[in-house]
Amino acid sequence: MIEESLKAFLKEDIQSGDLTAPIAKGKQASARLICRSGALLAGIDFFEKIFKILDKNTRFERFFPDGTYIEESSVVAVLNADAAAILAGERTALNLLSRMSGIATLTREFVSQLDGFDTMLLDTRKTTPGLRFFEKYATRVGGALNHRLGLYDCAMIKDNHIKVAGSISAAIKAIRSEIPFTSKIEVEVKTVDQMKEAMDNRADIILLDHFDIDQIRQAVKIKNDYVRLEASGNIDKDSLKAVAATGVDYISTGYITHHAVSSDFALKIF
């Protein structure tokens, strides 16, 4: 899956061929990967793989693993490969590394706000189509836990599902009879009354959607022993600590993917 995705990214850029390839025909080159802005590194394995797809004889020396904070102007890695491969893969590799490192850097900023709390940070499905695996990998590097990867690994009942089913009870009943017994059921609720209905029907996880602080505290107070509570909705770095202080089990936010700014890397032939 990973290699297929990387090949598709390259195909998008190269298509029928790099028109500048004749410049590099028959030549070898070496290049330095330089971090031009401080960043938490994420995706260095994929960066390397892109060049090895283009030239299986690529030699790659990395100086830092993923999860390392890279200072501005640091040399992250050096590669030697067919010059045409370096020129053809440069932008694709840099784009992916920059995007992933930007997400990891922002995620680490969020996670650091939760020091001292038992609450864990979760990512969401608010990812770029085609990049979900890579973006969710980046949030893990940043210290978050992955929420479900897709519709297939957790049965999550949201407001539109409840509208279709007619009620939370009906939605849970319909799902429980069909899914494997190992699968969890999560229900998104808008009110404390809905939360009680979800608990009465033995939901495994309840997502408190856009609850204010007082409502979250109330939910934590009345929850039973087996259910886990997840707070979500317009949560940013300024509100994170207040939400965690309620004692909620998880905080999920799409902010760490859809608000992340790509880190700045460059690849320079020498």
Q: What is the pTM of this model?
A: 0.95
pLDDT digits (tens, 9 = 90+) for 83-107: 999 999 999 999 999 999 999 999 9
Structure tokens at 21: 């390839």
Active-site pick, 7, 36, 62, 91: 91
Strand intervals (E) in 24-179? 28-35, 39-40, 59-62, 69-70, 75-82, 120-122, 155-157
Residue 1 has pLDDT above 90, yes or no: no
Helices (H), 39-82: 44-54
Residue 169 has pLDDT above 90, yes or no: yes
Residue 62 has pLDDT above 90, yes or no: yes
Catalytic annotation present for 126: yes
Nearest to 243 by CA among 221, 215, 206: 215
The whole-number pLDDT of residue 238 equals 87
* Mean pLDDT over the full length of the chain: 96
Q: Which residues of 133-164 are buried (b: 16+ CB within 10 A; e: fewer)?
A: ebbbbbbbbbbbeebbeeeeebbbbeeebbee
The whole-number pLDDT of residue 109 equals 97
Architecture of domain 117-258: Alpha-Beta Barrel (3.20)
Residue with tokens 């979900």: 132
Active-site pick, 18, 109, 209, 264: 209
Catalytic annotation present for 159: no
The whole-number pLDDT of residue 182 equals 86
Look at the domain 2-110+261-269 and name its fold: Aldehyde Oxidoreductase; domain 3 (3.90.1170)
Cα–chain-centroid distance for residue 192?
30
**Where along the chain do its domains lie?**
2-110+261-269, 117-258
Asked if 2-110+261-269 and 117-258 have one fold, the answer is no
The whole-number pLDDT of residue 36 equals 96
Identity of residue 105: T
Reported as type and span, the H/E element at residue 161 is helix 159-165
Residue 237 has pLDDT above 90, yes or no: no
pLDDT digits (tens, 9 = 90+) for 137-155: 999 999 999 999 999 989 9
